[in-house]
Amino acid sequence: MLLALLLGAAAGGFLLLFLKLMKLGVAFFWQVLPALGASMVGAVPYYAIVLCALGGIWVGLCQKYIGAYPEPMEAVMATVKQTGQYGSKKVVGVSVSALLPIVFGGSVGPEAGLVGIISSLCTWVGNRLRRARGKLEKLAAEEAALLSRKLKWPLYMAAVLSGIGVYLGLNALLGGGLHIERFASAHFGATEALWFVPLALFGIAAGYYYFLCEKLAALAFSPLERIKILRGVAGGLLLGVCGTFFPYTMFSGELQIALIMESWADTPMIELFLIGFLKIAITNVCVQSGWRGGHIFPVLFSGVCLGYAMVYLIGVDSVFAVVVTVAAFSSVVLRKAVVAVPILLLFLPVNSIPYMVVAAIIGARVPIPKLLLMRAEE
Nearest by Cα to 11 from 131, 98, 95 = 95
Condensed to tens digits (0 to 9), the pLDDT of residues 135-156 reads 666 665 555 555 555 666 777 7
Question: Which DSSP string do the residues of 107-165 spell out, in sequence order?
Answer: S-BSHHHHHHHHHHHHHHHHHHHHHHHHHHHHHS-HHHHHHHHHTHHHHHHHHHHHHHH
Q: How far apart are CA 333 and CA 303, in angstroms?
A: 11
Hey, how many other C-beta atoms are within 10 angstroms of the C-beta on 130? Answer: 12
CA dist 10 → 24, 67, 161, 359 (Å): 21, 25, 12, 40
> Lowest mean pLDDT: which of 37-46, 100-109, 131-140, 181-190?
131-140
Query: What SS3 class is residue 294?
Result: strand
Instruction: Read off the pLDDT band of 312 (50, 70, 90).
Output: very high
pLDDT at 376 over 50: no
Residue range 354-360: average pLDDT?
A: 92
- Torsion region of 315: left, alpha or beta (phi above 0 gives left; psi -120 to 50 gives alpha): left
| Residue 10 confidence (pLDDT) | 85
Domain residue spans of the chain: 2-174, 190-372
Q: Does domain 190-372 sit in CATH 1.10.3080.10?
A: yes
Taking residues 59-74, report their average pLDDT. 88
272 pLDDT higher than 90: yes
User: pLDDT tens for residues 319-330?
Assistant: 999 999 999 999
Q: Mean pLDDT, to the nearest integer, of 20-43?
A: 85
Between 14 and 227, name the one with better pLDDT: 227
